[in-house]
Chains A and B, each alone.
Chain A
């Protein structure tokens, strides 16, 4: 039987499609002092992914034409006392969602913060990770890094938690601490960043294989 010439091409196209569709995305939601960014960075290095954090804020603010909002968003302890208008903030939030989706479409990326776990909720081949640690542990870490008293560091921890919780509640109507937002929650109180990163890295290909399997099963060919 003569196989049509188009057959191998079709297989290649399907494989390319599957490959594109399985470009992984890891979102990391982290508490201040939980070492979440450090873990994300390790994951990105090991998986040869790109890591996106502050860049997301700056890009969104510039896209929305409200660069001052970037500063206000970074200033989670309100040291600068900026108060962007509701209109500016809304434009920024919409731009953030857009930029997150752009990065996710490119794939092979670790996205840190900005409610990316909500924006990309339910997306295939995306792993949502939450990094936490007890308040006291986080305060001690901040105190060590910034050379400040633990009590001051604890105030920072509380202010940051409040800010991030409010951000999720105000703009996405979800509870930051809801475990159902995440595929994996890691407490770094007694784990090293390397161990946490290794755990996430191990999960990525397992999840990818599952996505490919599901796609093949759903493929009528």
Chain B
């Protein structure tokens, strides 16, 4: 089993690193983007859309997806989550929303990152992965 420590992984987004640090703090085992779930296929059977949750917690059998986009822009992400539930009902997945991420970073003393989530940057590029 591939168990990470937050300092040993290159994260795409600072919120992911902050989240990993919280997991490390509690001694929770985690894996970073270990699995991609196909969601849509084209006529030839090729995967046209997929979803890669940010983390997997093996002991809790739980996937985690973080998002920092504004609520009005979260529709796409919610649609993907809905599709995940339809196609993979046995998979447990928790979506952490923008406000939850911001609160977590404030509690963790990451004020600059929290401000970034509050700012306009989050509206455009705040999604923590391309899944």
Contacts A68-B94, A71-B94; A79 near B60 (Cβ below 8 A): no
**Complex Cα gap A185–B108 (Å):** 34
B62:A68 contact, CB within 8 angstroms: yes
Interface residue? B122 (CB, 8 A): no
Interface residues of A in 12-65 (CB under 8 A from B): 54-55, 58, 61-62
**Complex Cα gap A6–B96 (Å):** 65
* Residue from B26, B57, B59 within 8 A of A75 (CB atoms): B26
Interface residues of B in 86-105 (CB under 8 A from A): 92, 94, 96, 100, 103-104
A79:B94 contact, CB within 8 angstroms: no
**Complex Cα gap A74–B100 (Å):** 17
Contacts A78-B107, A80-B104; A70 near B60 (Cβ below 8 A): yes
Main secondary structure of the interface of A (DSSP, over half): helix
Residues of B within 8 A of A54 (CB): 27, 59
A58:B60 contact, CB within 8 angstroms: yes
Residues of A within 8 A of B59 (CB): 54-55, 58, 70
A81:B26 contact, CB within 8 angstroms: no
Contacts A68-B94, A71-B57; A80 near B22 (Cβ below 8 A): yes
Known: A70-B59, A79-B108. 6 other contacts (CB 8 A): A55-B59, A58-B59, A67-B94, A71-B28, A80-B100, A82-B100
Q: What are the 9 closest A-B residue pairs judged by CB atoms, nearest first?
A: A67-B62, A67-B92, A70-B60, A79-B22, A67-B60, A81-B103, A58-B59, A68-B94, A81-B100
